A and B are shown apart, each in its own frame.
Chain A
Amino acid sequence: MRGTTVNQIRISRELVACLTLSLGTLLWADSGANHQKRNQHFGVSAGNVNDRSRAFCCGGTAGALLQDSGGGKYALSNNHVFARSDQAAVGEQIIQPGLIDVGCRASSATVIGSLSPYPRLGTNVDAAAAALNSGTMDATGFIEDVGHVSGTAAAGIGQSVAKSGRTTGLTTGVVEAVNATVSVQYQRGCGQGKKFVVSYQNQIVTSGGMIAGGDSGSLLVDSSCRAVALLFAGDSTGRAIGNPIDEVLTKLGGAMRKTLSFVTGSTCLLGSATGAAAPASTSRGPSQSVIELVRSVLEEHKAELLRGPVIGVGVGRAEDNPLEAVIVVYIDRTQGVRPELPAQVRGIRIRRVSTDPFVALPGCTDCGGPDSGRCR
C-alpha cells in the first residue's frame, strides 16, 4: 500500500515537474515485512540499543557484512543509526531488529554485536560498524532479496542499481547524479533534540522510489551485486543519497584501525545468471532508438489520447516485457470513466495506469517549454 501511494506522489511530482517517466521505479519489488523481523541476513532492521527518548525509539538498517584482515566480522550501517549521530560510546550494543520493530523493548531483540570506533559526522561519510557476536548474523553476508556482494564498483550516471532495506525491502532504480554536493538534515536525539545540517561532497544520488525512513544503512549495489554506495539520506520522493563505498571502507577502516573489505560470494539474485528474482524492470530497458521511435509516434497521437479522464501520456516500459517500449496513459481514477483507448497505436502497445489527479507540489512553479524538459 505504502509503495503505491509513494509512487502516485512520484508520478504526480514528475509530471508537474515536466520530468520524464521512468517506469522501472514504479514497481516496488518487495514489501519490507521480512526485513523488520529477526533475520540473520543483511538489508534488515537493526539499531543501537540506546537509540530512544521518552516518547520515541529509533532504528535503521544493517546493510552488509564487512571483514577485517584478521577475520573479524562487522555489520555495516550509518553513524546516525548505530552510533546515534556521534553520541554513542564505542562498545554500545547493537540489536536486531532495531527498537522500532520490537515496540521499543530491547529485551525483545537480539544483541548482534557492539559498536566499533567510527568516523564522526562531518568527515564526508555517515558510517559505523558493529563487531558481530559469532552466530548472530549470516557469516556469508547474504543480503535479503539481493544475495552476496561480489565486489565494489564506482557509480556511473544512468547505471541500474538496487538496495535492500528495513522499510521498503528491495527497490531498484538508476544513478541520477554523481559528484553531488548535498546538505542533509539530522536530528541529534530520537524524535527530539537539536536539528543540524551536514554537508557532503562527491555523493551518489539515485532516482526516486528507492528509499524511505528506516532504510538508512542500506547498501546500494549494481546489477551484478557490486557495492556502489552506503545509503544514508533521501527526500520525500524516495530519491536516495549515498556515500561512495570506497570512501566508506577507507574512512571507517581508518577509525577502526583495520583494513576492511566486504565478505563476498557468488550468489547474486539481481543478475541474469539466477533469473528468478531479477528486477528485470530496471536492469535492462528498451534501446534508445526504440524509445525515440515510440516518442515520435506519441507526439503524433498525443492530442487524440489526451481526452476525458486521460490526464497524462508518456513513454515507458511494458509491464510484461521490460525491453518493450510502450505508450503509458495516465487515467484519473476519480472521474470514474473508462476512456475508449485503442490497444495499440501503429503497433506500439498502450499501457493504462490508473492514478489520482496530479497536483502541483512544491519545487516547480513554472515549467519551461517543450525543449526545457525540466522546470525552470
Chain B
Amino acid sequence: MFLAGAAFGFHPAPVTQQISEEEVRRASAVKERHERALMALPGVTGVGVGASRRRPGQAAILVYVGRSLSPEEGRLFPQRLEGVEVELVEGGPFQALREKAVAFSKLAMPRCPAAETPAAWVIRTRPAWRAFLAAAGLKDPHPQPDFRRSAVVVVSAGPRPTGGYAVEIERIVEAPGSKPAKVYYRIVAPAPDAPVPQVISYPCTAVEIPRKFRTVTFEPPLVVHVR
C-alpha cells in the first residue's frame, strides 16, 4: 500500500504557492453554484477553495471527505466543474474542539497500604473495599463511597525514605476505545528544607470516579490491581 503511494511523484507543497484573488473569485463562484450538490455526495464534510495540486497556480474546489469511498462512490465526484478542478482531500468529520476530562472526587485516606512498590488499585465493590482497608490496617467506618455509581482508584507511591511525600491526581481523561479512563498523577517530594518525619512513609491518594469506566490506566504506568 505505502509503496504504491510512494511511487507517485510527490509534488512540492502547492499550498505555499500564491493564488491570485481573481482565481479565488473564479473558483468561489463555481463552488457557490455547485455547493449543495457537492455537500450531498457520500462522505463529504466540507467544500472550500484552495490551491490546485493538479494545476499549480490555479484555484481548485477542495472537497473534504471524511471516510473511505467505494469505487462506485468515488465515481460520483466530478473531476472538474465549469473549468475548475475538483480535488478530494481526506478531511473531517469536523468536531467542535472543547476538551473534556473525567470528574473525580478525593476520598480522605487516614492511612495507606504499605505497598512495597508503586501500585494502583481499582476497587468496584464494598466487600473488596472493606478487605482493602483491613489489609491497610484501617477499619470501617472510613470513606464510604457509593459503589452503585462510583469506583475507587487508589494510587500508592510505594515506600519513601521520609514523610512529606504526597501523590496528586492531576487529571483523568477518557481514553479512546470502550470506556477506559487514563489517570495522570505525580508524586510530590517534600521541599528540600522542609522538616519531615524521619520514618519510611507510604504516601497514597484515593479518588472516586464514575463507575462506567471499565478499565483504568495510569500515566506514568503502574501495576494495577482490580478488585
Contact indicator B94/A183 (Cβ below 8 Å): yes
Report chain A residues within 8 Å CB of B96.
78, 80, 85, 126, 184-187, 216, 232-233
- Which one, A66-74, A265-273, A334-342, A360-368, is touching chain B? A360-368
Residue on A with the closest CB to B2?
A: A358
Nearest-CB distance from B71 to chain A (Å)? 6
Please name the 9 residue pairs, one residue from A and one from B, whose CB atoms are nearest each other, closest first: A180-B48, A177-B48, A214-B99, A363-B90, A182-B46, A291-B12, A373-B53, A358-B2, A100-B101
Answer whether residue A295 sits at the interface, using C-beta atoms and an 8 A cutoff: yes
Complex Cα–Cα for A104 and B24 (A): 46
CB-defined A-B contacts under 8 Å, sample of 14:
A15-B5, A22-B15, A55-B102, A100-B171, A157-B50, A177-B49, A183-B45, A183-B92, A185-B96, A211-B97, A213-B99, A234-B95, A312-B6, A376-B74
Could you give, for residues 132-167 of chain A, a 1 whenever the CB lies within 8 Å of some chain B CB and a 0 otherwise?
Answer: 000000000000000000000000111000000011
Q: A100-B99, A179-B49, A216-B97 are in contact. Are A20 and B13 (CB under 8 A)?
A: yes
Complex Cα–Cα for A203 and B174 (A): 30
- Which one, B59-67, B120-128, B159-167, is touching chain A? B59-67
B residues 84-120 in Cβ contact with A at 8 Å: 87-104
Report chain A residues within 8 Å CB of B170.
103
Contact indicator B9/A295 (Cβ below 8 Å): yes
Could you give, for residues 192-233 of chain A, a 1 whenever the CB lies within 8 Å of some chain B CB and a 0 otherwise?
Answer: 000000000001010100011111100000000000000111
Answer whether residue B80 sits at the interface, using C-beta atoms and an 8 A cutoff: no
Residue on B with the closest CB to A191?
A: B100
Q: How many A-B Cβ pairs are below 8 Å? A: 291
B residues sitting closer than 8 Å to A (CB atoms) are 1-19, 24, 28, 31, 35, 39, 43, 45-51, 53-54, 59, 62, 64-71, 74, 77, 87-104, 169-172, 174, 210, 212
Q: A234-B97, A311-B6, A372-B54 are in contact. Are A177 and B1 (CB under 8 A)?
A: no
Contact indicator B48/A232 (Cβ below 8 Å): no
Could you give, for residues 41-59 of chain A, a 1 whenever the CB lies within 8 Å of some chain B CB and a 0 otherwise?
Answer: 0000001000111111111
Q: A180-B48, A184-B95 are in contact. Are A311 and B8 (CB under 8 A)?
A: no
Contact indicator B39/A184 (Cβ below 8 Å): no
Report chain B residues within 8 Å CB of A185.
93-96
- Which one, A110-118, A235-243, A255-263, is touching chain B? A235-243
B13, B39, B49: the one contacting A22 at CB < 8 Å is: B13
Residue on A with the closest CB to B97?
A: A216
Residue on B with the closest CB to A186?
A: B96
Contact indicator A233/B13 (Cβ below 8 Å): no
Contact indicator A183/B1 (Cβ below 8 Å): no
Contact indicator A239/B91 (Cβ below 8 Å): yes
Q: A80-B96, A213-B99 are in contact. Are A157 and B59 (CB under 8 A)?
A: yes
Residue on B with the closest CB to A291?
A: B12
Contact indicator B98/A234 (Cβ below 8 Å): no
Complex Cα–Cα for A29 and B17 (A): 23
**Centre residue among A13, A179, A180, A325 by max chain B CB count within 10 A:** A179
Contact indicator A180/B46 (Cβ below 8 Å): yes
Q: A182-B46, A295-B10 are in contact. Are A213 and B98 (CB under 8 A)?
A: yes
Residue on A with the closest CB to B210?
A: A55
Contact indicator A60/B5 (Cβ below 8 Å): no
Contact indicator B5/A181 (Cβ below 8 Å): no
A residues sitting closer than 8 Å to B (CB atoms) are 12-13, 15-22, 47, 51-60, 78, 80-81, 85, 99-101, 103-104, 126, 156-158, 166-167, 174-187, 190-191, 203, 205, 207, 211-216, 231-235, 237, 239, 241, 285, 288, 291-292, 294-295, 298-299, 306, 311-315, 325, 357-367, 369-376
Report chain A residues within 8 Å CB of B100.
56-58, 100, 190-191, 213
Q: A80-B98, A158-B18 are in contact. Are A20 and B2 (CB under 8 A)?
A: no
Contact indicator B5/A358 (Cβ below 8 Å): yes
Nearest-CB distance from A273 to chain B (Å)? 22
Contact indicator B88/A375 (Cβ below 8 Å): yes
Contact indicator A311/B99 (Cβ below 8 Å): no
Q: A20-B53, A183-B46, A233-B97 are in contact. Are A291 and B68 (CB under 8 A)?
A: no
Complex Cα–Cα for A78 and B87 (A): 31
4 new A-B contacts, CB < 8 A, other than A16-B5, A81-B98, A234-B95, are: A176-B15, A364-B88, A373-B8, A373-B54
Contact indicator A56/B93 (Cβ below 8 Å): no
Residue on A with the closest CB to B27?
A: A179
Complex Cα–Cα for A235 and B54 (A): 24
Contact indicator B97/A232 (Cβ below 8 Å): yes
Contact indicator B68/A167 (Cβ below 8 Å): no
B24, B28, B99, B212: the one contacting A55 at CB < 8 Å is: B212
Contact indicator A235/B6 (Cβ below 8 Å): no
**Centre residue among B46, B90, B91, B99 by max chain A CB count within 10 A:** B99
Complex Cα–Cα for A103 and B209 (A): 11
Q: A176-B50, A179-B31 are in contact. Are A234 and B5 (CB under 8 A)?
A: no
Residue on A with the closest CB to B29?
A: A179
Report chain B residues within 8 Å CB of A372.
54
**Centre residue among A205, A216, A306 by max chain B CB count within 10 A:** A205
Complex Cα–Cα for A357 and B3 (A): 11
Contact indicator B212/A376 (Cβ below 8 Å): no
Report chain A residues within 8 Å CB of B47.
180-182
